Chain A
């Protein structure tokens, strides 16, 4: 390759790997029998999914009354979980698209799994969209289909309708981006496989041969898809934030929401990528591909976005005080010192204080600490959405309707459903699909691996 790597820069792939080693290391996972730990993890996921399916089924059978929602708090865990999952999904696109545009080569080892995470997370988010409708069999009412129900078309002025378009576009475009990236790797697996596996992976590989002409088109498609996905991912979370920001509820009616939500999404997404990758790395022994450098780079993004989120929290508070609007002021005082003060405190400490530890190189390079902090950040980001949604609603304009929200088993159960679904999908992906983009890793291996004799 023409790019020159300085000897002071640490290699992206360690262990002196050659292209053949990459094929063997990644295909080994796909070809071998599932391990005991995989079966145990799958069992736990399926049990969680089973319980969640019961809760979701009951919810749809009986109605939304099973949730702890009331007249005052009409949105709570449902939309909290929705925003949380969509936010997590955004890191995958950020890694695969934005880092591709910036020519960040370290993304090649982690983009595949991060994109898979995106797709599964967006599906989990979509579950809450359907669940909170109460009558999912009427979900098509959100689409502009010819009908005889009165006002003929959907209200295109509504942020909720924008959301339908944004999430479905995001899901399908991410899916296409992810799949096109996997086609060459499926071809690699196909050529090693025999019998029925050869037919299945052959079919998945779409008959890829790796000709220079196809690679040239593939590169063009990847670049344009990355260019399209970058504004798409920003637009999706902007629209999600507009679900709140275009309303007139104090605490939601805020112009800072779009950038604040996007930063939060990247923040939580990278935390989830770290959580998953640290486990995948250990279980599949991918230490040479997902190195401490990768973990450090992701930690740096977390400290950056965590600080942006922190500034946004403080700005919100300042603007509420400065606005002179009593309702706005009250909404924020209620957030920090009202009955949900503990949620606000959890959000502040998990999202603003804990990621600051990543300023220290020792912390960024300690796998245990990074793993714990990545989970702490995700807990914090869940509380952020809960604080925004629930504390803005629980103190209504009329004090007689002030109330609290208490989750029921079904609130928890549907949340667990998405966890079960997410991890079932991720485990299937990790076992049967190539978890690391073999072709792209092979492309960078010569210019930036520890394999010095090849220079």
Chain B
């Protein structure tokens, strides 16, 4: 959240009401800054017009990096750098390389994705005091934040729009 902004918070207490409200508010041409919910609501991201996350694609790229790194390292180590004659067997037994290649693929795909998620969502242990617009949004309330400085409608019109969409409370909030 940027600093020194005026928000109007619509507080809802039911996920279905919220989903309808998102459609209503967006239908009225109002830009929703963000919605805060205590649990994931399927379809809320598309209702808000968010693109589906690129994280799975990133995970695939990390995974492929792992596959290529592991396989090429194994082939280089046992095949070229220090080949050993074990009973006259070949130095590059590909089936034997499957387990480690697979594990390394998963290792990079999972950790790379988790780390990217933390970076893009600004999640880190030192970020222990986040700006919560309404602390009840991690408990049982659904909070729709509308940027007052960046919307065509004035405050009174927005308030009545949120109320009519089923908000149980409408609160102004100044983020310093």
Q: Does B bind A?
A: yes
Q: Specify the chain A residue showing the minimal Cβ separation from B54.
A: A220
Q: From B44, B59, B113, B138, name the one whose CB has the most chain A CB atoms within 10 angstroms.
A: B138
Tell whether, in the assembled complex, residue B124 and residue A206 are in contact, meaning their CB atoms are under 8 Å apart: yes
Tell me whether A207 is interfacial, beta carbon within 8 Å: yes
Contact across chains for B97 and A156 when beta carbons are under 8 A apart: yes
In the complex, the answer to whether B109 meets A216 with C-beta atoms within 8 Å is no
- A225 on interface, CB distance cutoff 8 Å: yes
Residues in chain B near residue A232, CB distance under 8 A? 103, 106
CA distance A169 to B14 in the complex (A): 40
Cross-chain contact A157 with B96 (CB below 8 angstroms): yes
Task: Give the docked Cα–Cα distance between A208 and B139 (Å).
Answer: 13
A183 CA to B114 CA in the complex, in Å? 12
Please measure, in the bound complex, the distance between the C-alpha atom of A217 and the C-alpha atom of B84, giving whole angstroms: 47
Q: Which of B40, B77, B127, B130 contacts A439 (CB 8 A)?
A: B40
Q: Known contacts A152-B81, A215-B40; decide if A207 and B124 are in contact (CB<8 Å).
A: yes
Q: Kindly identify, within residues 196 to 215 of chain A, every residue whose CB is under 8 Å from any CB belonging to chain B.
A: 199, 202-215
A231 CB–B CB distance under 8 Å: yes
In angstroms, Cα B49 to Cα A212, docked, is 11
A169 to chain B, nearest CB (A): 4
Min CB gap B130→A, angstroms: 4
Shortest C-beta distance, B35 to chain A (Å), equals 4
* CB-CB contacts below 8 Å: A157-203 with B: 157, 161-162, 165-166, 169, 172-173, 176-177, 180, 183-184, 187-188, 190-192, 199, 202-203
Within the assembled complex, what's the spacing in Å between the Cα atoms of A437 and B170? 29
Instruction: Give the Cβ gap from A211 to chain B, nearest Cβ, in Å.
Output: 5
A66 to B136, CA, bound (A): 58
A442→B140 contact, CB < 8 A: yes
The interface size of chain B toward A, counting residues with CB under 8 Å, comes to 67
Of all chain B residues, the one with the shortest Cβ separation from A188 is B138
Q: Indicate whether A218 sits within 8 Å of B40 (C-beta atoms), given known contacts A153-B81, A235-B102.
A: yes
> Within 8 Å CB of B120, what residues of A?
217
Interface residues on A, range: 35 or more
Assess whether B138 is in contact with A216, with CB atoms less than 8 Å apart.
no
Q: A156-B77, A191-B135 are in contact. Are A151 and B52 (CB under 8 A)?
A: no
Task: Pick the residue among B74, B117, B132 that contacts A156 (CB under 8 A).
Answer: B74
CA distance A106 to B100 in the complex (A): 34
Question: Which of the segments A18-26, A34-42, A53-61, A372-380 contacts the partner chain?
Answer: A18-26
B70-114 residues at the A interface, CB under 8 angstroms? 73-74, 77-78, 81-82, 84, 86, 93, 96-97, 99-100, 102-104, 106-107, 109-111, 113-114
Q: Are A212 and B36 in contact (CB under 8 A)?
A: yes
CA distance A2 to B44 in the complex (A): 12
CA–CA, A229 and B102, complex, Å:
12
Cβ A207 vs Cβ B129 within 8 A: yes
Residue pair A2, B43 in contact (C-beta under 8 Å): yes
Expressed in whole angstroms, the minimum distance between the Cβ of A280 and any Cβ of chain B is: 22
Residues from chain A with a CB closer than 8 A to the CB of B68 are none
Q: How far does the Cβ of A342 sit from chain B's closest Cβ, in whole Å?
A: 35
Q: Is A283 an interface residue (CB 8 A)?
A: no
The answer to whether the Cβ of B67 comes within 8 Å of any Cβ in the partner chain is no
A290 to B99 CA separation, bound complex (whole angstroms): 37
Decide yes or no: A221 and B81 within 8 Å by CB, A208-B138, A232-B106, A442-B140 being known contacts: no
Contact A210/B118 with A215-B44, A228-B110 known, Cβ cut-off 8 Å = no
In the complex, what residue of chain A is closest to B95 when comparing beta carbons?
Answer: A157
B34 interface residue per 8 A CB criterion: yes
Which B residues are CB-close (under 8 A) to A339? none
The answer on a CB contact under 8 Å between A219 and B40 is yes
Residues of B within 8 A of A144 (CB): 73, 77
Interface status of A396 (Cβ within 8 A of chain B): no
Decide if B36 touches A209 in the complex (CB within 8 Å).
yes
Nearest Cβ in chain B — how far from A255, in angstroms? 14
Q: Counting CB contacts under 8 A, is B165 at the interface?
A: no
How far, in angstroms, from A162 to B104 measured CA to CA in the complex?
A: 11
Q: Give chain A nearest CB distance to B79 CB in angstroms.
A: 10
* Distance in angstroms between the alpha carbons of A191 and B140 in the assembled complex: 12
- Residues of A with Cβ closer than 8 Å to B? 1-2, 18-20, 23, 144, 151-153, 156-157, 161-162, 165-166, 169, 172-173, 176-177, 180, 183-184, 187-188, 190-192, 199, 202-221, 223-225, 228-229, 231-232, 235, 239, 242, 438-440, 442-443, 446, 454
CB-CB nearest 4 A-B residue pairs = A207-B127, A202-B128, A19-B140, A206-B123
Question: Given A192-B139, A207-B130, A228-B109, 18 other A-B contacts at CB below 8 A?
Answer: A1-B41, A23-B38, A23-B139, A23-B140, A153-B77, A161-B100, A172-B107, A176-B111, A184-B138, A191-B132, A191-B136, A203-B128, A204-B125, A213-B34, A216-B50, A217-B55, A220-B56, A229-B110
Which B residues lie at the A interface, using CB under 8 A? Answer: 14-16, 34-45, 48, 50, 52-53, 55-56, 59, 63, 73-74, 77-78, 81-82, 84, 86, 93, 96-97, 99-100, 102-104, 106-107, 109-111, 113-114, 117-118, 120-132, 135-140
| A-B residue pairs in contact (CB < 8 Å), sample of 24 | A1-B41, A1-B42, A19-B39, A20-B140, A153-B77, A156-B96, A157-B78, A162-B100, A169-B106, A180-B114, A190-B128, A203-B125, A206-B118, A207-B123, A208-B138, A213-B121, A215-B41, A217-B117, A218-B40, A218-B117, A224-B59, A224-B113, A228-B63, A442-B39
